[in-house]
Amino acid sequence: MPKPADDHITSLVNARIVLPGGVREGALHITGGTIAAEPGSGAVLDLGGRYVVPGFVDMHVHGGAGASYQLGRPDEARRAADFHLAHGTTTTMASLVTGDPDELAAAVAGLADLAADGVLAGIHLEGPYLARDRCGAHDPALLRAPDPAEFDRLVRIGRGHVRMITLAPELPGALDLVRAAADAGVIAAVGHTDGTGETARAAFDAGARVATHLFNAMRPLHHREGGPIAAALNDPRVTVELINDGVHVESAVARLAFAASPRVALITDAMAAAGMGDGDYRLGVMDVEVRDGRALLAGGTSIAGSTITMADAFRRAVTDVGLPIERAAAAASLTPARALGIDSRVGSLEPGKDADLAVLDDDLRIAWVMRKGRRV
């Protein structure tokens, strides 16, 4: 479908609009960058019955288009964010893997400027307070025990833009850091953990509200000790992230997660190789080999992030997992927006919210994207 010539569209007509409660056929109106209840006087675009879904919200992503967020370099960060935006992610976090204290501080400082400019929705610290036995693609030499002073420094440098931190709750001092994060307005996420279900429940009671990439890099589910997976799925306060690429979690297991919880948030966990094809890459200080779209630590078997976009994760949720399109759209938009506390502005196509959306072709692939009422 050709893109409209006029960026100032005020009505999308003959559309199938995907809302939290189902699909409504008709028109979607836009005024001043927000979704409106009534039509304006600008351009009208006939979508020919195509779907319109909310812009995706990716709460866990490390890079894309050959660029990484890890060093906090503005040019690289913008390139990664622009790549994912073109694939429907209108709201994106910037995730950082474990690094040394000065490297993390420099990256947070650089990314905070982009968050202040609205390029990013915030910063996610994945580590460095992770379990050695479940560290995945993080450098074990850089892992350390929770350090309140370091955390306070990163929050201060981030100027309010550090939004989430993933940590293993069984580590010494971890529960105190969960409480400190909650007090600082930072979401604590349980992940890269070998802790028991009891430990995970203690973390949720202390204020943790997210489970980082459920099933991956955590003690597995067992029928006599459900571990952090069962604890997260059973807790109505907790949003569970899911990497729906068919590599990290097979579709049958993803189906179980969606059946168990209404709070599944699709994420990409994408690294620099997303959109680039097979080759050799870096994730933090670790070397990564991408072969057939699968990212592994060089010479090993540990998965090192993904190479997908949110558009891929959403489409697979419909075509492979078997979700209704409105459930898949919510998992890719409204659920993560709620987890981040920004659902009053983004996450669904309701009047008063930002006009962030994606128009899909007949194969549920991105035709074009709008952010704050303007095509990108």
* Residue numbers belonging to the annotated binding site for substrate: 137, 216-217, 224, 248, 303-305
Question: Which residue, 222, 271, 246, is CA-closest to 65?
Answer: 271
DSSP-derived 3-state class of residue 355: coil
Give the number of other CB atoms < 10 A from CB of residue 370: 22
- Are residues 94 and 69 in contact, defined by beta-carbon separation less than 8 angstroms? yes
185, exposed or middle or buried, with CB in 10 Å at 0-12, 13-18, 19+? exposed
- Rounded Cα–Cα distance for residues 236 and 249 (Å): 22
Give the number of other CB atoms < 10 A from CB of residue 113: 15
> From the annotation, which residues make up the binding site?
126, 137, 192, 213, 216-217, 224, 248, 303-305
Q: Parallel, antiparallel, or unpaired for β 9-19 and 22-31?
A: antiparallel
> From the annotation, which residues make up the binding site for Zn(2+)?
126, 192, 213
- Are residues 148 and 184 in contact, defined by beta-carbon separation less than 8 angstroms? no
Is 176 assigned a catalytic role?
A: no
- Are residues 186 and 167 in contact, defined by beta-carbon separation less than 8 angstroms? no
Provide the sign of the torsion angle of the four alpha carbons 216, 231, 337, 38, taken in this order. positive
Q: Which amino acid is located at 162 in the chain?
A: V
Annotated active-site residue in 235, 245, 269, 343: 269
Q: Which amino acid is located at 354 in the chain?
A: D
Residues forming the active site: 269
